């Protein structure tokens, strides 16, 4: 994912950096994500009132839930008159992916105190995961990388609060802002995060099948379609990776011995190495 | 009241999902197949979220000239693959979306 944080990879100085410079690097690497989150945060604030959420409710959601896509989905459900229990359940389902983000990072943070872990977990969004995962994969020395992680979270979090607040204000000034299509900002940010992953056939297959399933199953209740689409995508990707591993060594018999191990490493860090 | 309960519930489930693995760090080991399958999770989930938003904004599959989400995404993706730079992708995507919408109106 060196492409996500282009200004970090060529700097060996990071390895001996202080806590504060790690923190700043983390905030800096998050800038592209912030650009995408600005219109998205604003549109959240704007939509809140017309969906039936109070101003304080919108602010509290950004402060305490802090999960862009599920806040957005909650507004949609509120607008159609769905009750709180269903909204909470949907939030759980939509955010289950963060469990998998946490699983991917858990070995890197196991040396930290519980306070640190709770803090970093609270801020584990799609955006910070993408940036922080790039940091952990791109460098061998990760002793101070939790400061990088925190820097990313603080930058992303402050921006999200500011934009929600701005959106609430703008929504009162321009009631027709909801038709401007600012929700495209989330789509294009996520699209930008996905692109560096698309470096091998199994990944392409996984992404295309997940997208197709998500569209076919779009009308299933409570975002079930999203969950099924994601699970099928992961299974299809993993299965085709296994099939590829089994076919390739047979094709190139001479190099068969190290193909499997190389392939495995490539896929694990697939997003970092071109 | 209802609203407070709803937000508290959302905050609780979101934090739990993010924290549970971190809380148990060092006490669970995952098999290799699980870790390999995990590498597919971020791109797969994100594309499952955005595909319907981009390709069926009105509720049906729409890749006609009348769908600015689709065309702006095509432009953003082309730039993304070409430049391999996130900020460029996002900015170009947003600008082309505004331009395409403006041209259509």
Q: How many alpha carbons lie under 13 Å from residue B73 in its C-beta half-sphere? A: 29
Assigned token pair, A150: 């925190």
Nearest residue on chain A to B5, alpha-carbon basis:
A84
Residues 158-217 of A with CB under 8 A from B: 180-181, 183-198, 202-203, 206-207, 210-215
* Chain B interface test: which of A37, A214, A222 (most B C-beta within 10 Å): A214
Cross-chain residue pair A4–B86, CB shorter than 8 Å: yes
Distance CA A87, CA A70 (A): 9
Assigned token pair, A77: 């459900």
Dihedral angle over CA of A195, A200, A206, A210, nearest 10: 30
pTM above 0.80, yes or no: no
Residue A258 neighbours by CB distance under 10 Å: 9
Average pLDDT over residues A101-129: 93
Residues 16-45 of B with CB under 8 A from A: 17-26, 28, 30, 32-33, 35-45
For residue A244, give the nearest of A264, A223, A216 by alpha carbon.
A264
Distance CA A146, CA A266 (A): 25
SS3 A80: coil
Contact B17, A70 (CB under 8 A): no
The DSSP 8-state label assigned to residue B16 in this structure reads H
Q: What is the pLDDT of residues A27-57, one digit of tens each?
A: 999 999 999 899 888 888 888 887 889 999 9
Average pLDDT over residues B11-29: 91
* ipTM score assigned to the predicted complex: 0.90
Distance CA A243, CA A232 (A): 16
Cross-chain residue pair B90–A230, CB shorter than 8 Å: no
Q: What is the pLDDT of residues B7-16, one digit of tens each?
A: 999 999 999 9
pLDDT at A154: 98
Q: What is the pLDDT of residues A159-192, one digit of tens each?
A: 999 999 999 998 888 877 767 777 788 889 889 9
Distance CA A202, CA A111 (A): 33
Distance CA A121, CA A144 (A): 17
* Chain B interface test: which of A4, A70, A187 (most B C-beta within 10 Å): A187
């Amino acid at each position: 994912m060196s492409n996500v944080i282009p200004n970090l990879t060529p700097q060996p100085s990071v390895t001996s950096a202080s806590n504060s410079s790690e923190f700043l690097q983390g905030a800096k690497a998050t800038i592209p994500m912030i650009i995408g989150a600005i219109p998205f945060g604003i549109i959240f604030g704007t939509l809140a009132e017309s969906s039936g959420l109070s101003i304080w409710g919108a602010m509290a959601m950004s402060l305490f839930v802090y999960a862009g896509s599920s806040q957005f989905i909650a507004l949609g459900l509120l607008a159609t008159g769905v009750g709180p229990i269903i909204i909470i359940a949907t939030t759980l389902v939509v955010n289950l992916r963060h469990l998998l983000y946490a699983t991917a990072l858990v070995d890197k943070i196991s040396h930290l105190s519980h306070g640190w872990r709770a803090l970093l977990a609270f801020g584990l969004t799609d955006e910070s995961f993408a940036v922080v995962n790039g940091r952990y994969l791109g460098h061998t020395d990760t002793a101070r990388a939790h400061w990088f992680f925190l820097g990313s979270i603080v930058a992303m979090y402050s921006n999200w609060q500011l934009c929600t607040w701005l959106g609430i204000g703008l929504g009162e000034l321009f009631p027709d802002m909801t038709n401007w299509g600012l929700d495209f900002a989330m789509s294009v940010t996520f699209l930008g995060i996905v692109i560096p992953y698309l470096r091998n056939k199994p990944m392409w297959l996984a992404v295309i099948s997940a997208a197709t399933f998500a569209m076919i199953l779009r009308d299933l209740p409570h975002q079930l379609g999203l969950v099924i689409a994601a699970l099928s995508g992961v299974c299809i990707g993993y299965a085709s990776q296994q099939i590829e591993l089994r076919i390739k060594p047979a094709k190139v018999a001479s190099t068969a011995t190290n193909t499997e191990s190389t392939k495995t490493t490539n896929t694990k860090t697939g997003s970092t190495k071109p | 009241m209802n609203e407070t309960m709803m937000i508290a519930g959302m905050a609780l489930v979101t934090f739990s999902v993010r924290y549970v693995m971190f809380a148990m760090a060092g006490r669970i080991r995952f098999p290799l197949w699980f870790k390999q399958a995990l590498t597919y999770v971020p791109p797969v989930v994100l594309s499952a979220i955005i595909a319907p938003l981009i390709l069926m904004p009105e509720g049906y599959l729409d890749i006609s000239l009348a769908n600015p989400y689709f065309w702006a995404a095509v432009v953003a993706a082309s730039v993304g693959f070409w430049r391999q730079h996130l900020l460029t992708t996002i900015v170009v995507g947003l600008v082309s979306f505004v331009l395409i919408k403006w041209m259509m109106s």
